[in-house]
Amino acid sequence: MSNEAERPRVLEYPGNGFVITWEPARCRHAAECVRGLPRVFDNTRRPWIVTDGATADEVVTVVDRCPSYALGYRTADGRSRTAPDTVR
């Protein structure tokens, strides 16, 4: 038996020294990310997250502003952000 259906869908976008995670069901479209780092987060584009050229520090700064915890990250130097009740 599998509990796969109970797990939230989390998409991953690898970059240079970091991975951005995005849980669509949590996204409130507040656009903090789009305003903060528009070359990475652009909701008029598909895929809407493009990590090319971004640094881990830029990603951490902007993702930390996401009010819903839809966005998270893991960095090569050990920083991470996940939604408070996300089970890994």
Any contact of residue 19 with ligand SF4 (CB under 6 A)? no
31, 39, 47, 57: residue in contact with ligand SF4 (rule CB under 6 A): 31
Which residues in 35-74 contact ligand SF4 (CB under 6 A)? Answer: 66-68, 70-71
Per-residue exposure over 22-44, b if at least 16 CB sit within 10 Å of its own CB, e if not: bbeebbeeeebbbebbeebbeee
Please give the Cα distance from 16 to 59 (Å, whole number): 11
Contact between 30 and ligand SF4 by CB under 6 A: the answer reads: yes
- For the chain, give the number of residues: 88
Q: Which stretch binds ligand SF4 (CB under 6 A): 3-11, 22-30, 51-59, 78-86?
A: 22-30
Question: Where on the chain is the footprint of ligand SF4 (CB under 6 A)?
Answer: 27-33, 66-68, 70-71
